[in-house]
Chain A
């Protein structure tokens, strides 16, 4: 039997809202998470994606014991998060992109010291771990700076270090790269890849940035209205959504619209047909076959292939499941 790091079955969470004013007696029930079944094994890296309000944050709050499920079961690191929240806290690290676990008026270094004391980390272990994190996340230059004076990118890196100081087995990142510049994003991703490789840490991350998913996650879970509508690999997601690749073709001369090539869709033409866009289904045909068919009709000068946009893929998955 595998000891799952995350194990939920029929996990459901409802919120009751009261109306305002005269409507105060009318209650409406909203199902934020609906019969979610999720099994995540040790060392897995799962991207948890969905539109705003799809139930991602609610799930995370249930996984760490902040919210109690309405029904269903949840075990995180083999622990019931609600009953044994404090025992679980030693094994889970959470980074909330929107809220800080550092003390805004203290230097970063002092926040780490306090967290080490809170987690009761032995002196040597705390020192070696914080040295490791400071090095890998490149925090040295602003260790003595109060948190309130850090840039967003610096603060996020410090937040990640704070959440990982006690060597959690499971790291949950809720929108970790929101608002970060390209370089900060890249540093953070590289760090997470290293952390996973060296410590076998399990990752669960929610994000709107598909670059995070592509770089960090081998498994994707898509939720819609609290329901899991897809659970599998990233490539499989594109296939399941029927997302097509697009060929951008540049011709030497103006060319009539390339319609009627098998398994392709003509998306549009520019510059009187000197540039055309063809979508093709990679399940049914190959780029080479399409190009051969195109070559029979016109003189090809240049081409490029566009990968499916994953936000678009999610929209397609939503449409298909509704």
Chain B
């Protein structure tokens, strides 16, 4: 396949990113059996996560004021959005490998922003199955729960999905920024990235106070699924998380991206030695 088509047009500035991503997808699918195994194992992980929630409800009927079908809505929203973010930018946590192998230095030689190059340098198609489990959970939960659908409900759902993907993506970006100056920093950041994902799939009402502070406001995981889900179900929120907060997911997304870009910038400055 020749990407420089039979015209003499100058490629758009997106052509480079598109070409890299297309090549990544082709190469992942080119080993068919390998790809199928990857898809299956990733789907299995999603199923196990789901089974965990389901098993929990064999012991209790209500968790944090929600029953199983209601928790399924929180789980579906959070897990689908997280899996999509993981698929698109999950490779950013391998930044130390990029540094070690000199790939990052090669990024410097191309006329594109570093972070965009890193984000578009790979894509993990195998995570599609896990996102599929999340989507299935979400659709089932939306059908069996008693939701009084209105335009506002639909708008909130769409807004939440977009913002939640942005929030989870930003978690990967700030974690990557930190890898520049922490040796073995992944141990530290994983606690927040994966811990955050786990927290987001749970009703925030069951969290302890420090956890509420951390994943309610610092890394606003509660806003990625739980709070919007309450609003969709027309349920009152726990203390400190009023119902209208559901519309604040864009604020959370902007805050997380602001934080992520600052951390990235710090990291790059450190790498170049230009002072923090």
- Contact call B111/A64, Cβ cutoff below 8 A: no
- What is the chain B residue whose CB lies nearest that of A92? B109
Shortest distance in angstroms between A263's beta carbon and chain B's nearest beta carbon?
Answer: 50
A106 within 8 A of B: yes
- Asked if A176 is at the interface (CB within 8 A of a chain B CB), the reply is no
- Kindly list chain A residues whose C-beta atoms are within 8 Å of the C-beta of B5: 123
Assembly CA distance A67 to B110 (angstroms)? 15
Q: Which residues of B contact A86 (CB under 8 A)?
A: 111-113
Given A113-B2, A116-B4, A122-B8, residue A15 in contact with residue B273 (CB < 8 A): yes
> Which of B11, B274, B275 contacts A117, CB < 8 Å?
B11
**Does B94 make an interface contact (CB < 8 A)?**
no
A193 in the interface, Cβ–Cβ < 8 Å? no
Instruction: Flag whether A82 is at the interface (Cβ < 8 A).
Output: yes
A251 to B20 Cα, complex, angstroms: 68
Among A90, A120, A125, A126, the residue within 8 A (CB) of B16 is A120
Binds B, one of A94-102, A134-142, A195-203, A214-222: A94-102
Bound Cα distance from A123 to B109, whole angstroms: 21
**B98 CB to nearest A CB, Å:** 11
What does the 1/0 interface line of A98-133 toward B look like (CB < 8 Å)?
111101011000100110111111111111000000
Flag whether A301 is at the interface (Cβ < 8 A). Answer: no
CA A68 to CA B23, docked complex, whole Å: 33
Contacts A68-B272, A92-B109, A96-B105 given; indicate if A120 touches B4 (C-beta within 8 A): no
A271 to chain B, nearest CB (A): 52
| A residues less than 8 Å from B110 (CB atoms) | 89, 118-119
CA gap between A316 and B149 in the complex, in Å? 85
The answer to whether residues A66 and B105 also contact, given A13-B273, A118-B110 and a CB cut-off of 8 A, is yes
The answer to whether A68 and B274 touch (CB under 8 A), given A106-B23, A114-B3, A123-B7, is yes
CB of A101 within 8 A of CB of B109, answer yes
B245 at interface (Cβ–Cβ under 8 A)?
no
Main secondary structure of the interface of B (DSSP, over half): loop
Would you call A85 an interface residue if the criterion is a C-beta within 8 Å of the partner chain's C-beta atoms? yes
Are A94's CB and B7's CB within 8 A?
A: no
Interface size range on B against A:
35 or more
Most chain B beta-carbon contacts within 10 A, residue among A90, A116, A118, A122: A118
Does B103 sit at the interface, judged by CB under 8 A?
yes
Whether, in the assembled complex, B106 has its beta carbon less than 8 Å from a beta carbon of chain A, the answer is yes
Complex CA distance for A125 and B4, rounded to whole angstroms: 10
**CB within 8 Å for A113 and B272 given contacts A61-B105, A90-B111, A106-B27:** no
State the CA gap A67–B6 with chains docked (Å). 39
Determine the distance from Cα of A95 to Cα of B11 in the docked complex, in whole angstroms: 24
**Chain A residue nearest in CB terms to B114:** A85
Residues of the A chain whose Cβ atoms lie less than 8 Å from the Cβ of B18: 117
Q: Are B111 and A121 in contact (CB under 8 A)?
A: no
Quick one: which of A93, A101, A110, A116 contacts B11, CB cutoff 8 A? A116
Q: Decide if B10 is an interface residue (CB 8 Å cutoff).
A: yes
Query: Quick check: is B1 within 8 A (CB to CB) of the other chain?
Result: yes
Give complex CA distance A121, B2 in Å: 13
- The answer, among A82, A110, A121, for a CB contact under 8 Å with B274, is A82
Please list the residues of chain B having a beta carbon within 8 angstroms of any beta carbon in chain A.
1-13, 15-16, 18-20, 23, 27, 101-103, 105-106, 108-113, 272-275
- Per CB-CB distance, the 9 closest pairs between chain A and chain B, nearest first, are A99-B102, A118-B16, A68-B274, A117-B15, A89-B111, A113-B3, A117-B19, A124-B8, A114-B19
